[in-house]
Amino acid sequence: MNFLFNLNPIINLLIIIVVTLLLFRLCYFFEGFSKFPISNLAAILSLMFIAVYMSLKTLYGIYHFKRLKEDYGLTEGKIMYYKSGRGKALGEVEFEYLIKDELISNNVSENDFVEIPDIKPDTIIRYLVIYEQRSPQNSFLLFNYPINDNGAMKQYQRLFSKAIPKDVFN
């Protein structure tokens, strides 16, 4: 699994296309499938492509989330851009944080692991960022852990020292 999720995005796209075509070709074993109108076959191929893409995207998210939980670090982050997730739109946040004197910027959309609040958070203060130590770009800004003073970061580090608290992720 490690190999698949660390490939070049173009290689991943080719894998998605090949898997979709193989699944589509397997459908020809069903009686009468080859007699479908071309528009129906194109629709089936499109739906298979979307299904394979969404499945791999979900697996990719789960894989990186699991890696973050196994080897995480904590730092302070600042919100650069915030978009509410009200209505049908997904929430989105862009944030920056420092790790070993390197400024890292990350953009995260609302997903199964992290919920972005509908009410705009205070963008002046800093928030706790949890990141994967081997791959610092794999990170989440934790809105429920604001850093209001110097003592807050030390308190959070003690809280996270044994394990990630249950209220961090959905």
First to last CA, the chain: 24
Classify strands 72-83 and 126-132 as parallel, antiparallel or unpaired.
antiparallel
State residue 44's pLDDT score: 85
Question: Per mean pLDDT, which of 10-24, 29-43, 139-153 is the most reliable?
Answer: 139-153
Residue 28 or 66, more confident: 66
Q: What is the band of 8 on the pLDDT scale with cuts at 50, 70, 90?
A: low
pLDDT greater than 60 at residue 1: no
Core vs surface per residue 96-119: b (16+ CB within 10 A) or e? ebeeeeeebebebebbebbebeee
Model pTM?
A: 0.75
Q: Selecting from 2.40.50, 1.10.357, 2.60.40, 3.40.50, what CATH number does the domain 71-160 have?
A: 2.40.50
State residue 84's pLDDT score: 78
pLDDT greater than 80 at residue 164: yes
pLDDT in tens, 56-110: 888 888 888 888 888 899 999 999 988 877 766 778 889 999 998 899 999 888 7
Asked whether the beta carbons of 95 and 105 are under 8 A apart, the reply is yes
Grouping H, G, I as helix, E, B as strand and the rest as coil, residue 55 is helix
Nearest Cα to Cα of residue 110 among 133, 134, 128, 87: 87
pLDDT greater than 70 at residue 2: no
* Segments making up each domain of the chain, as ranges: 2-68, 71-160
State residue 10's pLDDT score: 76
Mean of pLDDT values over 140-160: 87
What are the residues whose beta carbons fall under 8 Å from the beta carbon of 37, sequence distance 6 or more?
A: none
pLDDT in tens, 119-131: 888 888 899 999 9
State residue 78's pLDDT score: 93
